[in-house]
A and B are shown apart, each in its own frame.
Chain A
Amino acid sequence: MAELRITINGASYKALDGMTILDVCRREGIHIPTLCNHPDLQTRGICRICVVDVKGSKTLQAACSTPVEAGMVISTTTDRVRKSRKTIVELLLANHYTDCTVCPKNLNCELQSLANEFGLTDLRWKERRERTIPQDDSSPVFIRDNNKCVLCQRCVRACDEMQGVYAVANLFKGDSMIVGSAFNKPIGEVVCINCGQCVAHCPTGALSEKYCIEDIWKAIDDPKKVVVVQTAPAIRAALGEEFGYPAGTRVTGKMASALRTMGFDYVFDTQFAADLTIMEEGYELLGRLRSALTGGEAPALPMTTSCSPGWIKFQEHFFPELLPNVSTCKSPQQMFGAVVKSFWAGKMGIDPENIVCVSVMPCTAKKFESIRPEMARNGRPDVDYVLTTRELAVMIKQAGIDLHDMKNSTFDNPLGESTGAATIFAASGGVMEAALRTAYEVVTGREVPFKNLDISPVRGMDGVREASIKINGAQKDWSFLEGVELKVLVAHGTANAKKVMNAVREGTMAAHFIEIMTCPGGCLGGGGQPLPGTPEIRLARAKAIYEEDADSPLRKSHENPSVKKLYEDFLGAPNSHLAHELLHTHYTARGQY
């Protein structure tokens, strides 16, 4: 790419052909306000808050969408720029239902920040927007309040570009334009995978998850209830952001203390169930490979993971004919719930009826997963309530707790014990890495041939990543795998998954095992995580996750003592009859309309 020079506010800067004005300004630390722009999404150039003055141009130019040209002379502070930006904020506010103090986005709203940035003390258009459009609460996991929508299209782009779901679009034009679903149907009546990436990309309070905070306080305050909480791996690397810690700060121990202080009776860890998942899913994969390679009944291969509930629903809608390829394993959240209300209830002598199982997830789709009919036994859901990371932060604050004040503590046992393999479930590629660490060792009796157990080819942020491991020295039981090149593939973002699954459908996919995560970067970039979420922040969280793994004394799921004991005392062996009954599930083919 050719190098060129431009002038910004009187100073000369180097730039590369193909960069936008915003790119250069960001790199040089020249502040440009933005709203519709988001690093995860393609540029639309529609909010116009980023306009700058370019010498020789009659109109102002949007910094986000204007490519640099050699010799360009740019000013970001002229009178026209200042006035236009301020007017744009005023225009947005004039059509925004403003109830900031009781809005879920209060103090974390990009529109509010803009109003603050421009020092607005009065509004020229005072006829304030009222709540004229009914809220759409038809989704099981989130609420759309179009009275607060600024039509930045970030939700639309997240749904289209990142997820390939196309659940929402612009409807109507001009003054009547809104974001909605096909034929203006409520979102609950169209194909939506509940991933919450729309929520995570919304700059205002137009999209927010459905809170279940009050229900949980009620359960905690009910002396008859035993309230247990599990926290997903991704929470510990992100929750701190809600309390002002830099992205990538691990707050595992503080979080456990906070949960205990809040009144949860048992503070457990979803990671326990993640290790359990690896045992079940690893053996399931090996079982399928055995059938395939020893001429048994032809199993569905490649097998895909099943931890990510957005992806499950995506597959049910868009690739129903490939449902047999999906691992029958429940997700860690649901395995955990099933174990708590069976094994643990029995062991503790507690009537499952009195157990309230709460999970904290980086995810909105988990809310939907927990209410699937197949995730309940005897009419009782295995997981009663699902909180997002953001909701947990609200609860901690409501309890008058500042995370900074918390001392480190550990999870309760036995369902709080886990390995580093479970921690990395939070990152795209982590389930694959954890599964390989176990499966390879089960088959060969030796550790995976990667330095420090770090299977780096499956790590990273590329949308689709492929890797392979050659199996040498398979033990007697697994001799059919001797010399086999185990091919694996990792994808995140369902738009990427769609490409992968199209190849599976066409039969051009050579992989044996595919990990798919719905959200960018995996669960650490989930729809329920602290805002904002950017590629940079996700990288910081991923770094924290891999550090936590590296620091763990145990890093292979099959070495988790509590999991081993669960098999000895209760389940028998991986994929046993009881394991199947409790830990495995089935899927529902759904239409596309």
Chain B
Amino acid sequence: MARKIDVVFSDFQPGSALRAALGMTPTSVIELVTKSKLRGRGGAGFPTGLKWDAARSHRSDDKFIICNADEGEPGTFKDKNILEKQTAKVIEGMAIGAYAIGASKGFIYLRGEYKYLVKDLMKKIEELKSQNLIGKDICREKGFCFDVDIKLGSGSYVCGEETALIESLESKRGEPRNKPPYPAEAGYLGQPTVVNNVETLSFIPHILLNGAEWFQQFGTEKSTGSKLFSVSGDCRKPGIYEFEFGITIRELLKEIDADPDTKAVQIGGASGFCACSDDFDKPICFEGIPTGGSIIVFNKSRSMFMVLKNFVEFFQEESCGQCVPCREGCSRMLEGIEKFEQGRGSSKTINDLLELSTTMSLASKCGFGQSVPNSFRTIASKFKDEILSAGGGEVWRS
């Protein structure tokens, strides 16, 4: 059974992991991270070591590492907490990454609404500088320089997508780029760039200090380590939790003291998956139900139709608007969903929207449009009657 553990928020001596890293070659740091099988916590779950290795292998004098603190997924608030409480750990994760890939400049891309954190973050950066943990010739290692800047996001969900984030950093509209090239090859200002989630970076110092085997003892075969969850909704103990990967939904619901009449759990926020009681024994991990960490619990009193509508409204507004399947698809999907409210929806409407979903998932330019249909598909299949009867009348079958 998966355990509740405490890594991310555990005590940490600033500089200890960085010194360990500087005692190794950049390649062996990357090897260590690869061996730990750490996967990105921002949602996509890409192996961090591989990403770093790609960025290292592309030659350039100007490489960058970016901490993705845009945290835009509805229902998540873990990154804010990590940054607030473990600033030094995250920045040290960045510095280790910088050393590994050969970068000398880092950015924290901070969600606009977290502006109030800037002052403290700046203070911490200054403090670390005075301790020679960032800045010039870090830890007296000649020639290793690394500076960190904070950039505020401007309030768009898509800006959390790494290439849109980079566009935004370059003062352009936050619209995702075509991939390839991936940021590790051509990112910020066209230079090799690593974008990592706050949480991902916070594990790095621990892996440096405790080793890959230690990290691998947590979690599952394909999803090593632990994961932070932002829990909200119908439960007695909402908040932030750290569990090993592989925890089942049922175990999680127990830990957070969810309402006994819980009927659905939205895993991974608006762009994630809706689980119903049939799914509660499934594990949360990349090979099971993946998540960036948002857990929203719904009890029997909630209308799943309204939940769905709320999500799709969010998407329609937050789509960056550049690609057709996503921009037009979100609008048509919302239009279709509203039909049910007006008593004009039918099974055919659902089928049309399912076909639309397929195209959105297959043909959208970025992960946003590709994942918009996740919630529709899961809610519409598991709570079909609630959708069909949203107009208040009989369930309308045709």
Contact = CB atoms under 8 A, between A and B. Distances in A.
B324 A48 contact: yes
A173 B321 contact: yes
Interface in A11-49: 43-49
Contact of B321 (A65, A94, A175): A175
B327 A59 contact: no
B324 A46 contact: yes
Interface residues of B, number: 35
B361 A177 contact: no
Interface in B345-366: 352, 355-356, 358-359, 361-365
B363 A48 contact: yes
B319 A175 contact: yes
Given A88-B324, A151-B321, A175-B316, A45 B365 contact: yes
B178 A65 contact: yes
B319 A124 contact: no
Interface residues of A, number: 36
Given A87-B356, A174-B316, A175-B330, A48 B325 contact: yes
Contact of A174 (B173, B320, B335, B361): B320
Contacts of A172: 321
Interface string A55-66: 000011010011
B359 A62 contact: no
Contact of A80 (B175, B321, B362): B362
Chain A residues touching B, majority SS = loop
A59 B361 contact: yes
Contacts of A46: 322-324, 365
A174 B363 contact: no
B251 interface: no
Interface in A174-195: 174-177
A298 interface: no
A383 B167 CA distance: 47
A150 B318 CA distance: 19
A67 interface: yes
A95 B325 CA distance: 12
Contacts of A67: 180
Contacts of A125: 332, 335
B336 to A, nearest CB: 8
Contact of B318 (A95, A151, A174): A174
B370 interface: yes
Contact of B324 (A47, A60, A176): A47
A48 B323 contact: yes
Chain B residues touching A, majority SS = helix
Contacts of B175: 170
A472 interface: no
B328 interface: yes
A176 B328 CA distance: 11
Given A60-B362, A84-B359, A175 B324 contact: no
A44 B322 contact: yes
Nearest to B369: A48
B317 interface: yes
Nearest to B156: A173
Interface in A157-214: 170, 172-177
B328 A60 contact: no
A355 to B, nearest CB: 50
A125 B328 CA distance: 11
Of the listed residues B323, B331, B362, the one surrounded by the most CB atoms of chain A closer than 10 A to its CB is B362
B106 interface: no
Nearest to B315: A174
Interface string A61-75: 010011100000000
Interface in A114-145: 124-125, 127
B335 A88 contact: no
A173 B362 contact: no
A461 B331 CA distance: 43
Contacts of B332: 91, 94, 125
Contacts of A170: 173, 175, 321-322
A471 interface: no
B362 A175 contact: no
Contacts of B321: 151, 170, 172-177
Contacts of B318: 173-174
A176 B173 CA distance: 15
A190 to B, nearest CB: 18
B46 to A, nearest CB: 14
Of the listed residues A49, A60, A172, the one surrounded by the most CB atoms of chain B closer than 10 A to its CB is A60
A51 B362 contact: yes
B355 A173 contact: no
Given A46-B365, A59-B370, A174-B316, A83 B327 contact: no
Contacts of A62: 178, 365
A175 B325 contact: no
A91 B329 contact: yes
Contacts of B319: 173-175
B340 to A, nearest CB: 15
Contacts of A44: 178, 322
A92 interface: yes
Of the listed residues A60, A80, A94, A174, the one surrounded by the most CB atoms of chain B closer than 10 A to its CB is A174
B364 A48 contact: yes
Contact of B363 (A88, A151, A153): A88
Given A150-B324, A151-B327, A177-B320, 5 more contacts: A60-B363, A80-B358, A174-B327, A175-B316, A176-B321
Interface of B: 156, 158, 173, 175, 178, 180, 315-325, 327-332, 335, 352, 355-356, 358-359, 361-365, 370
17 contacts: A46-B324, A59-B363, A59-B364, A59-B370, A83-B359, A87-B363, A88-B324, A91-B329, A91-B332, A92-B324, A124-B352, A151-B324, A173-B156, A174-B315, A175-B319, A176-B321, A177-B322
Closest 3 CB pairs of A and B: A177-B321, A91-B328, A65-B178
